[in-house]
């Protein structure tokens, strides 16, 4: 999960801040990042939306596009709080607040999407 580590550190985000955005513990996030435990589909989707990358960049180590790297470099000019706000707005685009209930809604929507994808022939 080198790409996951790179994406997080390229924005200079600590694991605790990112884990709060995903509604998981920092310990669990680090286990995902180190490849010790598999990343659930809904977390992969949320990370890909937050980092503005395709799912396969997070899951299989596909090369990170140069435009993503440039975009992250530009975002580093923002404060830590501003970066988290940008990532939050990507995950919660309707202006919802970052809280357990709203993140749970996103995870549920993604889980339903995944189930529909699997059930189609």
**For the chain, percent of residues with pLDDT exceeding 70:** 92
pLDDT at 38 over 80: yes
Give the HSE-up count for residue 121: Cα atoms under 13 Å, Cβ half-sphere.
0
Of the candidates 81, 61, 67, the one whose C-alpha atom is nearest the C-alpha of residue 12 is 81
* Dist CA 30 CA 119 (whole Å): 31
pLDDT at position 30, please?
96
* Tokens found for residue 47: 């990370």
Per-residue pLDDT tens digits for 90-115: 988 788 888 878 888 888 877 776 66
């Amino acid at each position: 999960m080198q790409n996951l580590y790179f994406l997080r550190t390229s924005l200079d985000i600590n694991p605790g801040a990112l884990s709060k955005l995903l509604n998981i513990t920092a310990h669990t996030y680090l286990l995902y990042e180190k490849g010790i435990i598999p990343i659930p589909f809904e977390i992969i989707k949320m990370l890909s939306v937050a980092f503005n990358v395709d799912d396969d960049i997070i899951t299989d180590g596909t090369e990170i596009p140069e435009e993503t790297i440039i975009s992250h470099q530009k975002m580093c000019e923002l404060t830590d709080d501003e970066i988290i706000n940008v990532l939050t707005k990507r995950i919660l685009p309707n202006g919802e607040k970052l809280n357990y209930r709203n993140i749970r809604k996103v995870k549920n929507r993604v889980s339903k999407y995944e189930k529909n994808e699997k059930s189609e022939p």
